């Protein structure tokens, strides 16, 4: 049964995830046959009234869309794990579910990266990108920057209990 691991601070979670990523990369590099097992680290959180998750398998972290309920979050996680299982066909992909109690916001580097990306988008003129897509991307960057100071928090006890119950029904 997959229970959600709770870390007090982000740096504690980062160390464990880094360990899993290193093991996954080593396993992918050294194993070309069946029996390969990869750990998919999934950080469950709440941000600006929506639930989401951040995933890391091989060091390329990605964020989910926002979900309005724990049920939608469970569905999103299950769908993501199934997608990863297809991506790594010869491997068994096992989720490592965790959450971080420490509230956090985007760090300075992440904020600057968003600002730089927004400015780069504004400078692009003849890139072949449809104007409506540029507008949508620009609005997305602006929304992310607007929420850059909103705290990201881990799931609380009630949310974790509901997630685990629903997750094991899937």
Same domain, yes or no: 69 and 138: no
Same domain, yes or no: 9 and 39: yes
DSSP state of 32: -
pLDDT for position 141: 72
Distance between CA 44 and CA 57 in Å, rounded?
15
Tally of structural domains, the chain: 2
Backbone φ and ψ of 101, nearest 5°: -70, -35
Distance between CA 145 and CA 81 in Å, rounded?
29
Q: Pairing between strand 152-154 and 50-56?
A: unpaired
Same domain, yes or no: 57 and 135: no
Same domain, yes or no: 55 and 71: yes
Per residue of the chain (170 residues), give pLDDT as tens.
579 999 999 999 999 999 999 988 888 888 755 678 889 999 999 988 899 998 888 766 677 778 999 999 999 999 998 888 888 777 888 999 999 998 887 677 777 877 887 787 777 766 666 777 777 777 777 777 776 777 889 999 999 999 999 999 87
Domain assignment of residue 19, given as a range: 5-104+151-167
Question: Which are the contacts of 144, defined by CB distance < 8 A and separation ≥ 6?
Answer: 114
Q: Give the closest residue to 54 by CA, choosing from 45, 63, 66, 41.
A: 63
Same domain, yes or no: 91 and 136: no
Distance between CA 45 and CA 99 in Å, rounded?
6
pLDDT for position 167: 94
Same domain, yes or no: 42 and 82: yes
Same domain, yes or no: 46 and 67: yes
Same domain, yes or no: 29 and 82: yes
Same domain, yes or no: 78 and 131: no
Same domain, yes or no: 138 and 57: no
Same domain, yes or no: 75 and 123: no
């Amino acid at each position: 049964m997959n229970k959600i691991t709770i870390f007090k601070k982000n740096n504690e979670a980062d160390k464990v995830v880094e360990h899993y990523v290193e093991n996954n990369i080593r396993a992918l590099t050294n194993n070309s046959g069946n029996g390969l097992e990869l750990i998919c680290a999934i950080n469950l959180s709440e941000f600006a009234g929506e639930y989401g998750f951040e995933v890391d398998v091989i060091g390329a972290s990605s964020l989910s869309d926002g979900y309005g309920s724990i049920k939608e979050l469970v569905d999103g996680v299950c769908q993501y794990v199934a997608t990863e299982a297809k991506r790594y066909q010869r491997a068994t992909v096992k989720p490592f579910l965790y959450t971080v109690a420490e509230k956090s916001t985007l760090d300075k580097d992440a904020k600057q990266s968003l600002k730089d990306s927004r400015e780069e988008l504004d400078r692009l003129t003849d890139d072949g990108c449809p104007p409506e897509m540029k507008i949508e991307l620009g609005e997305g960057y602006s929304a992310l920057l607007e929420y850059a100071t909103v705290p990201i928090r881990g799931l609380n006890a009630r949310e974790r209990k509901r997630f685990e119950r629903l997750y094991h029904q899937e």
